[in-house]
Amino acid sequence: MSKVTLRKKELTSGRVSFFLDYYPPIPHPRDGKLIRKEYLKLYMVNNPNNEIDRNFNKQTEMIAQNIRAKRQLDIQNRQYGFLSAERSMGSFIDFFRDVVRKKKGTNSDVWYMALRYLTDYAGHDVRFADLNVYFCDEYKEYLLSAPGISARKTPISNNTALSYYNKFRFALKLAYKADLLTENIYEKTDAIKEHDTQREFLTISEFQRMANVKIRPEMMKNAGLVSGLTGLRFSDVQALKWGDVRGEAGDYYIHFRQQKTKGVEVLPISDQTFSLFGGRGNSDVRVFQDLRYNRLRAFMDKWLGLAGIEKHITFHCFRHTFATLQLSMGTDIYTVSKLLGHRDIKTTQIYTKIIDSKKKEAATRITLEL
């Protein structure tokens, strides 16, 4: 039988933390994983110098000893459910927040907003014990009701709700793997179905007009043009380093790992694209230094205004522009799919629908008076 010992650990904050030491280790009731320590989240003052602190320490240690005695009794009766029960009282919001902190790159803002929408819906902290299929379904309905909690109070679209809910479900999966949930709620909940969206893009003449605009910072303009000439996502343009750029005049290419899919790609680029990179730097230096996502919206609005374009064009539309122009100019869909780094050609086929609609428009332009 395991013995339960109350131990203390000095922290850098000047406090002392209590934890229980199980020896031999005890099995977790869900997966049999051996547990040696249980931190009680009880603390006392190190080296108390007044009566208040000494009394506080005495009471805290008494609470810790009572928990130790209860745990010893549970173990004698081979009842280990307290391990799951204690963990289930932890904060899922704090867990989700830690997941968000670890996310870097352009979609970190999306992760942050996913967390904001969850906290707005809950109105309070959410414990792991609070999570079940009903909670998830109700949260899904809340997102689909298109609430707007951003600074602009703009209602979110179906596909934005899909993105936020997917991130919530991803956190559920991680929590289950970390033994913080007793059931895999992720597998019991369905994702929000994606709606077909109109992919806005530039015509070749509009793209040329944007290239002709003189605007600062030129680095941001060049980054947009590079995306339109290569189909690279903003995250890949932002992460591009000189060490990724290889080859010589007439045979330049970039060797990089996609930020979204993590797939390794080799992408040929034109000499014109290479010229937009500017002067070559060290291999570990980014090609477009200080390129920030939060500056894009204002810059794009100004750039489009100077070019006289009234379409709602975001930076990501340069990728749509690349795909649409390549297909309309005769590049076969398999080549375009490879250039875009798509894993499934069905993703690329979305652009063929755009081309088909343009063909229909062209078919009605020539009419005769009969």
pLDDT in tens, 257-288: 887 777 788 999 999 999 999 888 899 999 99
Q: Note the Cα 202 to chain centre separation in Å.
A: 28
The pTM assigned to this predicted structure is 0.58
| pLDDT exceeds cutoff 70 at 349 | yes
Q: Does residue 273 share a domain with residue 288?
A: yes
Q: Does residue 333 share a domain with residue 218?
A: yes
Q: Does residue 97 share a domain with residue 77?
A: no
User: What percent of the chain has pLDDT above 70?
Assistant: 89
Look up the domain containing 57 and give its range: 3-88
Mean confidence (pLDDT) of the chain: 86
Does residue 230 lie in a domain region?
A: yes
Smallest Cα–Cα separation from 171: which of 207, 221, 210, 117?
117
pLDDT-based confidence at residue 369 (cuts at 50, 70, 90): low
Q: Does residue 357 share a domain with residue 211?
A: yes
- Per-residue confidence (pLDDT) for residue 363, from 0 to 100: 60
Does residue 359 lie in a domain region?
A: yes
Q: Does residue 237 share a domain with residue 155?
A: no
Q: Does residue 182 share a domain with residue 259?
A: no
Q: Does residue 317 share a domain with residue 180?
A: no
When pLDDT is averaged across residues 337-355 and rounded to a whole number, the result is 82
Q: Does residue 317 share a domain with residue 228?
A: yes
**Residue in the block written with tokens 């995306």:** 227
pLDDT-based confidence at residue 81 (cuts at 50, 70, 90): low
**Which pairing describes strands 34-45 and 245-246: parallel, antiparallel, or unpaired?**
unpaired
- Per-residue confidence (pLDDT) for residue 105, from 0 to 100: 62
Does residue 236 lie in a domain region?
A: yes
Q: Does residue 34 share a domain with residue 16?
A: yes
Query: In whole angstroms, what is the distance from residue 227 CA to residue 234 CA?
Result: 7
Q: Which residue has the higher pLDDT, 297 or 198?
A: 297
145-159, 255-269, 273-287, 306-320: range with lowest mean pLDDT: 145-159
Q: Write the CATH number for 330.
A: 1.10.443.10
Does residue 369 lie in a domain region?
A: no
| pLDDT exceeds cutoff 70 at 205 | yes
pLDDT digits (tens, 9 = 90+) for 213-265: 999 999 999 999 999 999 999 989 999 999 999 999 999 999 988 877 777 88
Q: Does residue 178 share a domain with residue 38?
A: no
28-37, 79-88, 161-170: range with lowest mean pLDDT: 79-88
Q: Does residue 74 share a domain with residue 102?
A: no
Q: Which residue has the higher pLDDT, 6 or 108?
A: 6
Does residue 270 lie in a domain region?
A: yes
Residue at which a domain ends, from 67, 88, 109: 88
Does residue 220 lie in a domain region?
A: yes
| pLDDT exceeds cutoff 90 at 208 | yes
- Per-residue confidence (pLDDT) for residue 117, from 0 to 100: 92
- Per-residue confidence (pLDDT) for residue 218, from 0 to 100: 95
Does residue 368 lie in a domain region?
A: no
pLDDT-based confidence at residue 163 (cuts at 50, 70, 90): very high
Q: Does residue 324 share a domain with residue 264?
A: yes
Buried b (16+ CB within 10 A) or exposed e, 75-89: beeeebebbbeebbe
Sequence-ordered strand ranges (E) for the chain: 3-10, 15-27, 34-45, 245-246, 253-257, 264-268
Query: In whole angstroms, what is the distance from residue 82 CA to residue 74 CA?
Result: 8
When pLDDT is averaged across residues 8-24 and rounded to a whole number, the result is 88
| pLDDT exceeds cutoff 60 at 12 | yes
Residue at which a domain ends, from 49, 65, 88: 88
Overall number of domains in the chain: 3
55-59, 143-147, 352-356: range with lowest mean pLDDT: 352-356
CA angle 123, 41, 22 (to 5 degrees): 130
| pLDDT exceeds cutoff 60 at 83 | no
Residue at which a domain ends, from 145, 161, 188: 188
Does residue 302 lie in a domain region?
A: yes
| pLDDT exceeds cutoff 90 at 96 | yes
